[in-house]
Amino acid sequence: MAQKRKLQDKYFKMAKREGYLARSAYKLLEINKRRKLIRKGDRVLDLGCAPGSWLQVAEKIIGEEGTLVGIDLKPVSGDFGPNVRTIVGDFTKTSAAELLGGEDELFDVVISDMAPSTTGHGDHFFSERLCQEIIDVLPDLLKPRGTCTMKVLEGETFPDLMRRMKHIFRIAGAIKPDACRDVSRETYVYGIGFRPGRVRVSDGPGDGALPEPAPGWDD
Cis peptide before 116 (omega within 30 of 0): no
**Catalytic: which of 10, 13, 60, 151?**
151
Q: Print burial letters for 65-95: b (CB count within 10 Å at least 16), e (below 16).
A: ebbbbbbbeeebebeeeeebebbeeebeeee
Distance CA 111, CA 68 (A): 11
Q: How far is CA 59 from CA 25, 29, 193, in A?
A: 12, 12, 22
Angle at 67 (CA atoms; ends 62, 72), nearest 5 degrees? 105
61, amino acid identity? I
User: What number of residues does the chain have?
Assistant: 219
d(CA 24, CA 17): 14
Residue 219 near residue 188, CB atoms below 8 Å: no
151 is annotated as an active-site residue: yes
Is residue 134 within 8 A of residue 208, CB to CB? The reply is no
Whether 196 contacts 139, CB under 8 Å: yes
Could you list the active site residues?
A: 151
